[in-house]
Structure formats: C-alpha cells, structure tokens
Amino acid sequence: MNPIRKRRVYSILFVLLFSVSGISLILYSLNSNLDYFFTPTELKDRNIPSEKRIKVGGMVLNGSVERASSTISFTITDYENSVKVVYEGIVPDLFKEDSGVVVLGILRNKTIYAEEVLAKHDENYMPPNIEMNNDN
C-alpha cells in the first residue's frame, strides 16, 4: 500500500477509535439511566422516594390479579422481590398472569399507583398447539 493510502487508513482508524471511546464513555456514565424500567429488586435496592413517577417492569405474579369494577390490582415480580400495583383502566390484550408487564406510576406505601400499564412480550413465537408439548 502506498504511503498516502496508509496515512488515510490510520486517520480513519484514529477517528473510529475516538468516536467509539467517546460514545462508550458517555454510555458508561449514563449506565442504568438508559434502562427503560426498574425491576422490583432494583426498586428495593435504590430506595426510591415515594411520590416519584417511575416505571417498573417484570412478570405478573401467577394468581395475583384481582379485578374490582374498573380497578385492577396485581403483583409484579422478578422472582426475587415483588411489588404491588393498583391500576384503574383497561389493560392491553396481552396482559395476563405469568407474562411480562411494564407499569408507569407513583410509588406510595410500597404500592405503585399506575397511570399506564403496558404488556411486554418475549422473543418466542410459536403456534398455539406446540406450546402444550414444549412446556418445559
């Protein structure tokens, strides 16, 4: 390779190195601030002050869903810790026990009073009949 091209290769590598390290430092310092939601365990560890709007995500604990007129209450769990959620409104169709959920709400007395409930689904896709045989 001739010297001019070699110099160009070095300058490209140099620019790449700088942009990669710059962005890495930014992302590293932002760290968990880029997380979309807290898990119940993070919620417990971080001592979030009450009356603060937060997003919490996890699985809906099996058997925890209770409906009373327009209010629904359930427990979000990450199978280590869990937190109770109260919500008034309509939940998405995909909301069900043992499946993913993200809520936005205010934390008060260890209960989240949700303003928004979103369903989170995973990356598994399969026909309904196969699910029965694959239940491990």
Considering the rule CB under 8 A, would residue 119 count as an interface residue with other proteins? yes
Considering the rule CB under 8 A, would residue 67 count as an interface residue with other proteins? no
Considering the rule CB under 8 A, would residue 124 count as an interface residue with other proteins? yes
Q: Length of the chain in residues, anyone?
A: 136
The stretch among 43-51, 68-76, 92-100, 105-113 that binds other proteins (CB under 8 A) is: 92-100
Other Cβ atoms within 10 Å of 83 Cβ, number: 22
Considering the rule CB under 8 A, would residue 27 count as an interface residue with other proteins? yes
Considering the rule CB under 8 A, would residue 87 count as an interface residue with other proteins? no
Considering the rule CB under 8 A, would residue 103 count as an interface residue with other proteins? no
Cα 64 from Cα 67, distance rounded (Å): 10
Classified as helix, coil or strand, 108 is: strand
- Residues 6 or more apart whose CB falls under 8 angstroms from that of 73 comprise 64, 65, 66, 84, 85, 86, 87
Other Cβ atoms within 10 Å of 115 Cβ, number: 13
What residues make contact with other proteins under the rule CB under 8 A?
5, 8-9, 12, 15-16, 19-20, 23, 27, 32, 34-37, 39, 57, 91-95, 99, 102, 116-131
